[in-house]
Structure 1
Amino acid sequence: MSYRIRVPEKVDPLDEAHLLTGVDRFLHVLQEQRRAVLAGLGVVLVAGAVVAGVMWYDYQSTLKARELDQEATLHYLNRPADDPKKSQEQLSQAITLYKQVVDQYPRSPAAPLALFHLGNAQVLANEVDAGIETYKRFMLLYGSNTSLLGLVQQRLAYAYLAKGDRDQAVKAFTGILDIPGALNKDHVLFELAKIEESQSRPEGALAHYQDLMKNYPNSPFTSEAAVRVKVLEVKKAPETPAAAPASAASAPAPQPEQPAKASSGKSTAPASKKKQ
């Protein structure tokens, strides 16, 4: 009878880490990586502090920029009409305050509108060249602001007209028609038509007026455009040849001559013989 020798199974002792619970394992890893964890936590805290500081600074900058913009606008709008000297002083103060907004707080929400108002104030103060540069600066810094970009280019065109540079004005006006979402395209077409009329080019003026009437029928400029179209079409129509001069009036028919009246003298009739 054979005997089978029973060999006991080998059991590997479990690793100590396997016997730990999830929390104990986390604490164990945390203990081993303490320096790295503390360093990462410090980075997170610093980043959070930086973000909070930037947000607080932006908030304070927005408030300050808004206050300056409101003060400048009050000076700009409340100029006395009956006191030119004081009006000029307030306009100068408005220009100074608008410059502070755009120079010190260019990232604030008030900066684009302040820059637009700055250009308007400079042109009004007869600083046309400075106003043109301000409008160009707006186009460079805030060209993505399509709601204001069209108005800025329109003001730029007016500034060029004030300088007598009609070609640059037309270029600025025409550029507005290519701005998606510009709200003043109807006004621009009307201004372009007026420029064409001033240069004695009725065909170009008619094209702009008709474009305005077709694409913007509800525009407040449409009725005036319709009047101008009628006037230009009358001028454009060839003049009717002048009527031939009326033929000379026929001479009156000669009237028959009146018979001459007999003389009043007595005619000598032959004496009749008396009957004897």
Structure 2
Amino acid sequence: MCGNDELDSRFHGNDNVVYVSTFYEAVNIEITHKRKEIFVAKGKKITRKELKQPDQFHSVAARVFQYIYENRQKFYLASGIAGLIVLLLVVWGLYHLNYERNANLMYSLAYNSYTLAGVSDDEIKTYEAAVKIYEELINKYPKSDAAKLAFYNTGNIYYSLYDVDKSIEAYGNFLKKSSKYNMLTSLAYYGLGYCYEDKKDFEKAIESFENSNENIEGLHFASMNYANIARIYEKMGKDKKALEFYKKALEQTPDPLIEALVRNKVATLS
């Protein structure tokens, strides 16, 4: 029976060259002897063919190992590429987490600066300071989720500061980045409707309120949009269209106060 020294001598040449076939020949001899010993110990007869037949698992493993050995350069390259891809994914994941975290910190700083401050004599200055932080956030982290929200909030702030053009620009930037299924998308269109109404661009105002109604949830918002559209048609002198949308608002509103106001409008225009 072959010992470890004999296997090593068959596996390693004088020039450190691996002779794979010789190695497997030695291992097969070793396994054959082992199998013979096992069958003899159990008192079973074994044919010469069965004795020489290689172990199935070993044969498969040997072929796999030999294939890998013969194609080792390709495997080294594939392993290196796979390792590099994993490393890049890990680095990107860590970068993205840090990117979003820093953006969220700036967003919280801006949002809290005016929502927690409340109404005061310095309200305008508070809003202006918040806008600066939002704009810095947008410039530093333009691809973050916080940047999208910053555009929306900036639109609200500019409208509160009576800067309608900048409000329209901010809402527009938010809508370019947001999904139609986002609740804030409907509210951004709602804000745009008021902006265009203030500019007396009534057609765009109506279009904005209609867009707001397309994917907004809740009867309350639908009734408000219908009432807004009706009000604009009334300003345009289109009483028939105004009456049509006031009636739609009346059908949708769950608010008794709004219902009373809309009923009064319907009665006036009927």
TM-score of the pair, normalised by structure 2: 0.70
**Percent of aligned positions with the same letter in both sequences?**
21
Rounded Cα–Cα distance in structure 2 between residues aligned with 1:146 and 1:219: 24
Preserved CA contact (<8 Å) 1:30 1:37 = yes
| 1:114–1:145 distance in 2 versus 1, CA, 3 Å | farther
Alignment of 1:17-56 (within 5 A): 21-56=59-94
What residue is the counterpart of 1:186 in the other structure? 223
1:145 offset after TM fit, Å? 4.2
Rounded Cα–Cα distance in structure 2 between residues aligned with 1:161 and 1:79: 30
Preserved CA contact (<8 Å) 1:128 1:159 = yes
Higher helix share: 2
1:19 offset after TM fit, Å? 11
1:69 offset after TM fit, Å? 1.0
Preserved CA contact (<8 Å) 1:112 1:142 = yes
1:70 offset after TM fit, Å? 1.0
Preserved CA contact (<8 Å) 1:79 1:91 = no
Cα shift readout 1:70-103 (whole Å, capped 9, x = no counterpart): 11111222445342xx322221221112123333
Does structure 1 residue 175 correspond to structure 2 residue 218? no
Superposed CA RMSD in Å reads 2.8
Question: Which letter maps to 1:130?
Answer: K
Does structure 1 residue 161 correspond to structure 2 residue 197? yes
Does structure 1 residue 210 correspond to structure 2 residue 243? no
Alignment of 1:235-254 (within 5 A): none
Equivalent position to 1:96, from 122, 126, 132? 132
Report the more deviating stretch, 165-174 or 60-69. Answer: 165-174
SS of 2:142's partner is: coil
What residue is the counterpart of 2:173 in the other structure? 137
Rounded Cα–Cα distance in structure 1 between residues aligned with 2:236 and 2:201: 13
Where in structure 2 are there 5+ consecutive unaligned residues?
Answer: 1-51
Rounded Cα–Cα distance in structure 1 between residues aligned with 2:231 and 2:261: 11
Equivalent position to 2:160, from 103, 124, 127? 124
Where in structure 1 are there 5+ consecutive unaligned residues?
Answer: 1-13, 234-276
What residue is the counterpart of 1:69 in the other structure? 107
Cα shift readout 1:225-274 (whole Å, capped 9, x = no counterpart): 223223333xxxxxxxxxxxxxxxxxxxxxxxxxxxxxxxxxxxxxxxxx
| 1:135–1:55 distance in 2 versus 1, CA, 3 Å | same
| 1:168–1:20 distance in 2 versus 1, CA, 3 Å | closer
Preserved CA contact (<8 Å) 1:146 1:182 = no
Preserved CA contact (<8 Å) 2:223 2:253 = no
Preserved CA contact (<8 Å) 1:76 1:121 = no
Preserved CA contact (<8 Å) 2:180 2:215 = no
Rounded Cα–Cα distance in structure 2 between residues aligned with 1:27 and 1:181: 62
What residue is the counterpart of 1:7 in the other structure? none
1:39 offset after TM fit, Å? 0.8
Rounded Cα–Cα distance in structure 1 between residues aligned with 2:57 and 2:235: 96
Q: What is the count of residue pairs matched by the alignment?
A: 217
Does structure 1 residue 225 correspond to structure 2 residue 262? yes
1:64 offset after TM fit, Å? 1.2
Rounded Cα–Cα distance in structure 2 between residues aligned with 1:223 and 1:53: 60
| 1:19–1:61 distance in 2 versus 1, CA, 3 Å | closer
Rounded Cα–Cα distance in structure 1 between residues aligned with 2:208 and 2:57: 79
Higher Cα radius of gyration: 1
Rounded Cα–Cα distance in structure 2 between residues aligned with 1:146 and 1:228: 32
What residue is the counterpart of 1:112 in the other structure? 148
1:211 offset after TM fit, Å? 1.3
1:146 offset after TM fit, Å? 3.5
Q: Which aligned runs of 4 or more in structure 1 are off by greater than 6 angstroms? A: none
| 1:104–1:82 distance in 2 versus 1, CA, 3 Å | closer
